[in-house]
C-alpha cells in the first residue's frame, strides 16, 4: 500500500488536536494501529498512546531489537509529537483518553522533540504521510491491491452507503428536470411568432427558458472546470512533493509484497 498512499494524503500533513477541533472533527478512539489518522467526513480515527511506549527499558528490551517494529513505533510516536504541540493539545488528549492520565506537559515537552525531528529513514513508510482519507485508501486498495475489497468499510447500513455514493443521482435528476422543462416550453412555442409577436408573458417565458438553459449549462461547465482544475493542481503538487522528498509511490519502482504478511498501511 505504501506506493499508493500519495492518492490518499500529503506527506507530513498532521494537524494538532486543537486544529482537529477547529475543523469540527470528532475524535474516534480505536485500538487498530492500521486505522491511526485515517479520516472521513467529520471524524478521524486515532489510536491511544500506550504508556509502555514511553518506557525506555521496555522500548530497549522489546522494540529496539526488531527493526520493523522499531520503525512502526517511532513513526507512531512522531505522529503524536505532531498531534500534541501545546498544553491545550495535551488537555484534549487527556479528555479524549488518548494519553496516560499521569502524563504531564513538562514531561511531554522534553520527550516530543526527540520524535518530532526523526528522519524518514527511521520510521515506517506509512508515517512519511500524515492524515489519510479513508475513502481514498479504500479506492487504492480496491483497484490496486485486492478488487473489489476495500481497506476498511466506513458504512454500517445500506442507507449510509447509498446516501454517500448516490447523492449525485438526485442532483442529476434535478438538472435533467430543469432542462426537460425548458425544452418543453421551447418546443411548445411557435417558431414563426417568437419572440416578437407573442404577448409579453409568453415572450418572458421564452426568454426565461432560454436563460435557464444557459445558466444551467454554464454552471455545469464551471463545476467541471473547477473539479478538473482542482484535481489536476493537487495531483501536480503531490507528485512534485513526492519527487522532492524522494518517496516511494505508484510512479516509482514497484515492490513485491511478502505473501505471508498481511497487507496494511503499517506493513
Confidence band, pLDDT 50/70/90 cuts, at residue 191: low
Q: How many whole angstroms separate alpha carbon 253 and alpha carbon 247?
A: 11
Q: What are the sequence ranges of the domains in the chain?
A: 2-158, 166-233
pLDDT digits (tens, 9 = 90+) for 55-114: 999 999 999 999 999 999 999 999 999 999 999 999 999 999 999 999 999 999 999 999
Residue 144 has a CB neighbour count (10 Å cut-off) of: 13
Output the pTM of the full model. Answer: 0.70
Residue 181 pLDDT exceeds 70: yes
3-state helix/strand/coil string of 175-186:
HHHHHHHHHHHH
Q: Return the residue matching grid coordinates 511478502.
A: 258
3-state class (DSSP) for residue 135 = helix
Radius of gyration of the chain (CA): 26
Confidence band, pLDDT 50/70/90 cuts, at residue 250: low
Strands (E), 10-55: 26-29, 38-40, 43-46
Residue 127 has a CB neighbour count (10 Å cut-off) of: 26
The mean pLDDT of 120-138, rounded to a whole number, is 93
DSSP label at residue 133: E
3-state class (DSSP) for residue 26 = strand
E strand or H helix at 132, and its extent?
Answer: strand 132-133
Identify whether the C-beta of residue 165 lies closer than 8 Å to the C-beta of residue 196.
Answer: no
Total residues belonging to the chain? 267
Q: What pLDDT is recorded for position 211?
A: 79
pLDDT digits (tens, 9 = 90+) for 5-57: 999 998 889 999 999 999 999 999 999 999 999 999 899 999 999 999 999 99
Amino acid at each position: 500500500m505504501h506506493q499508493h498512499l500519495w492518492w490518499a494524503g500529503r506527506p507530513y500533513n498532521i494537524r494538532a488536536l486543537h486544529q482537529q477541533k477547529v475543523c469540527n472533527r470528532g475524535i474516534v478512539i480505536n485500538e487498530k494501529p492500521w486505522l491511526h489518522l485515517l479520516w472521513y467526513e467529520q471524524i478521524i480515527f486515532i489510536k491511544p498512546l500506550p504508556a509502555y511506549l514511553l518506557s525506555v527499558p521496555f522500548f530497549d528490551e522489546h522494540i529496539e531489537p526488531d527493526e520493523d517494529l522499531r520503525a512502526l513505533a517511532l513513526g507512531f510516536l512522531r505522529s503524536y509529537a505532531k498531534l500534541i504541540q501545546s498544553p491545550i493539545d495535551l488537555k484534549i488528549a487527556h479528555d479524549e483518553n488518548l494519553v496516560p492520565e499521569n502524563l504531564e506537559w513538562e514531561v511531554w515537552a522534553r520527550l516530543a522533540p526527540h520524535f518530532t525531528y526523526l528522519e524518514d529513514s527511521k520510521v515506517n513508510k506509512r508515517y512519511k504521510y500524515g492524515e489519510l482519507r479513508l475513502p481514498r485508501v479504500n479506492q487504492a486498495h480496491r483497484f490496486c491491491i485486492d478488487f473489489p475489497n476495500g481497506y476498511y468499510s466506513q458504512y454500517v447500513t445500506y442507507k449510509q452507503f447509498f446516501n454517500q455514493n448516490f447523492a449525485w443521482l438526485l442532483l442529476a435528476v434535478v438538472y435533467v428536470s430543469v432542462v426537460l422543462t425548458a425544452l418543453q416550453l421551447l418546443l411548445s412555442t411557435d417558431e414563426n411568432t417568437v419572440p416578437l409577436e407573442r404577448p409579453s408573458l409568453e415572450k418572458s417565458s421564452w426568454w426565461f427558458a432560454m436563460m435557464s438553459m444557459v445558466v444551467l449549462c454554464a454552471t455545469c461547465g464551471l463545476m467541471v472546470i473547477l473539479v478538473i482544475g482542482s484535481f489536476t493542481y493537487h495531483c501536480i503538487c503531490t507528485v512534485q512533493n513526492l519527487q522532492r522528498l524522494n518517496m516511494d509511490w505508484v510512479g516509482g519502482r514497484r515492490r513485491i509484497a511478502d505473501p505471508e504478511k498481511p497487507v496494511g498501511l503499517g506493513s
